[in-house]
Amino acid sequence: MKKTNNKPDIKKWPADSLPTGMEVTPELLLKKPKFRLWETAARVYAFIMIVLFPLFMLNVTNRIQNGDGTYHFFMFENVWYANLTDVKTTTFRLVTIALIVVCALFLIISFCDERIIAGRRETKLPGDKPLFSLPQLLIMAYLLWQIVAAFTADGGYEFNVLWVGVRRYESMTGIRTEGLYHVFLYGIAFLLVSFFGEYSKSYLRGLSLAVIAFSVMALMQVFGINLFYPKGADFWDSHFLSTLGNIDCVGGYAATVIPLLFAGFVLAKEKKWRITCLVSGSLMLMTLVYADVDSGKVGIVAAAAALMPLLLDRKERIIRTLCGLGIFCGTLALSFGITPSKDGVSLTLGKKFILAIGAAAVLGVLAYVLERFVRFPAWSPAKMRKIVLIALAVLIVAGLLFLFFYSGDNRLLTEAHEVLHFRLSDRAGSGRGVAWKACFTLIGESPVFGKGPGTFTYEYNPRFTKDGEMFDLAHNDFLQIGVHTGLVGLALYLAFLVVLAIRAYRASSRCPAVIPLIGACVGYLAHSFFSFSIAFVTPVFWAVAGVLEKTIRQLPKEEDF
C-alpha cells in the first residue's frame, strides 16, 4: 500500500529574489497576537529612545546658591547647557533601568501566574528558530568580555573609574560616562528590544515629526532667534544647537535620522507620511550644512552607499529616489545661497549653489523622463540590485582613485588623500589624529585585554598630550573599544555589526521595513568613526539596532506565505 503525502507542494524561492507580491509588508509584520506586557514595555522604550529622547532637555535638578545660603532651582539659565550632558545621561539611565525592572517584573509575574502560563505564547519564536540569534549571542559575549577587561586592567584603577568612566566636567555634575555602566545599559537595551520588542510604524512617523521640531529650533538659533541660550551667547559664540547642544552630537543625529527618513520617503505607502519624511529630512540636512560637521557628512555618504542598492531595484522606487535626491539638492542650494553669520544673513550665489541647483534640475528631469517615456526592463529586483552594486563598486573605485591623486585644498579630501598614502597627520580629523596614533600604541601595549573600560583619558593624557591639548575620549569609537577591551573586545563588536548587516541585507529583499533601519545604523557607525559613544545619540542607535534585529527575527518563513 502506497503512503500518501498530504503536505502541500511549496515552491521554494531564493531568499534574495522573492516576487514582489511575497514581500513582508509592515502590515503583515503587525499582524501578531496580542502583545504581552513586556513586549509593550520594549516598544514604549524604543519609541522613547528613537523619538523623544533627543528632544528631552529639562534639568529640574539644576540649582544655584543664593547670597543668604539658600538655593533656587532653574531650567533655562546661564549654566544650563553646561549640565546638558548630565541631563541626557540621567534620563538614559532612568528610562533604561525602568525597562529592565519592568521586563523582569512582568516575566516573574507571568511565570508565577498559572492563568498567564496557560494562555501565553511560546517563548521560542515560530518556525523552529533558536531562542537567541547570533547577534544577540555576540553582544552577550561582548558584555562578558567587558567584565574580563575590567578585572585584568593593569593600571591599578579604582572600581569607580572602570564602572563609571571619565568625568568631563570635574567642577560640575555633567560627565561623559562610558565605562562598564553605560556599555552594559546599551547592550541590555539592545537585547531587550531585540527579544521582546515589536516593529511599529509609530517609530518612523514619530521621528519625522520630532526631527521637524528639532530642526526648526536649530534653524531659528542659526538665524538669530535664541530659544535656550543665555542672552548674548548665540550659536556663533557657543556652537551649541537645539536640544543636543554640541554640534558633533547634532552631526551624529543627522547622520542617523536623515538616511532613515529618506528611505521612509521612498518606501512609505501613505502620501502624507512620505511628504512628512521628505520635509523632515530636508530640514535636518539644512541644519547639518549650517552646523558644518564633517563626521555627519561622512555618515550620510556612507548610508547613501548602503541604501542605493536597496532602493534602486524597481521603477517606482527609482523615481522616488531621484525625486528625493532632487529635493535634497534643492535644499543644499538654499543652504549654500542663504548664508547666516554672526553679523547677519547674506546671499551667496557661488559655485556650490550653482552645482546644487544644476543637480536638482538634472535629477528632476531624469525622474520625469523615466516615469513618462521610459519602459522599464522586466528585470527582477535581485538582478537590479546586482547591477546597482556593480555600478556602485565602479564609483567607489573611481572615488578612491580620485582621492589617491587629489591635490586640491579641501581639508576633508586632503585628509582622505593622506590616509590612502598611509600618512596620518596630528591634525587629521579636526586635530584628532594625534589621539588616533596614540590609540595604536596603547592597543599594542595591551592587545588582548585592553587597558580597561573607561580608562582612555587616564592612559592618554599623562603620556601623549601635546601643546596642552588633552583628550578624554579617542574620538573614534572603534579605536576606543580597542584601547578599553583589546582586540578581542573589538573583534566581538565588529563581528556583531557584520553579522547584523548580513542578516539585514538578506531580509531587505523580503521586508522593506528593515531598509530605513539599515540606513540609520550605517550612518551612525560611519559618524562614530570620527566621534565617540555618549548618551546623546548612542541610545538612538542601540534602540534602532534592536528594532532591526527584532524585525528580522519575526519575519515569517517562505512556507508561511
| pTM assigned to the model | 0.87
Given a cut of 50, is residue 78 above it in pLDDT? no
Q: Are 438 and 431 in contact (CB under 8 A)?
A: no
Q: Is the pLDDT of residue 12 over 80?
A: no
Task: Output phi, psi for 346, to 5 deg.
Answer: -125, 160
Over residues 311-340, the mean pLDDT reads: 94
Q: What separation in angstroms does the CA of 409 have from each of 185, 354, 423, 445?
A: 43, 20, 17, 37
Read off the pLDDT band of 25 (50, 70, 90). low
State the pLDDT at residue 16. Answer: 47
CA angle 121, 123, 127 (to 5 degrees): 90
Q: Strands 63-65 and 338-341: what pairing? A: unpaired
The sign one gets for the Cα dihedral 500, 503, 506, 511 is: negative
Distance (Å) of CA 461 to CA 178, 227, 435: 17, 36, 10
Q: What is the pLDDT of residue 29?
A: 58
pLDDT at 513 over 60: yes
Q: Where are the alpha helices (DSSP H) in 223-348?
A: 235-238, 247-267, 271-291, 294-311, 315-337
Q: Please say whether the beta carbons of 161 and 454 come within 8 A.
A: yes
Per the CB < 8 A criterion, the answer to whether 517 and 547 are in contact is yes
Crossing angle of the two packed helices 134-152 and 180-196, in degrees rounded to 10: 170
pLDDT tens, residue by residue, 168-208: 444 334 456 678 888 999 999 999 999 988 888 899 999 99
- 369-394 pLDDT per residue, tens: 999 888 877 777 888 888 888 988 89
Q: From residue 161, how far is each of 143, 155, 453 by CA, in Å?
A: 17, 11, 8
pLDDT of residue 120: 45
Report the relative pairing of strands 240-241 and 338-341 from DSSP bridges. unpaired
Band of residue 6 on the pLDDT scale cut at 50, 70, 90: low
The string of pLDDT tens digits covering residues 281-292 is: 999 999 999 999
- How confident is the model over 519-547, as pLDDT tens digits? 999 999 999 998 888 889 999 999 999 99
Q: What is the mean pLDDT of the chain?
A: 82
CA dist 514 and 517 (Å) reads 5
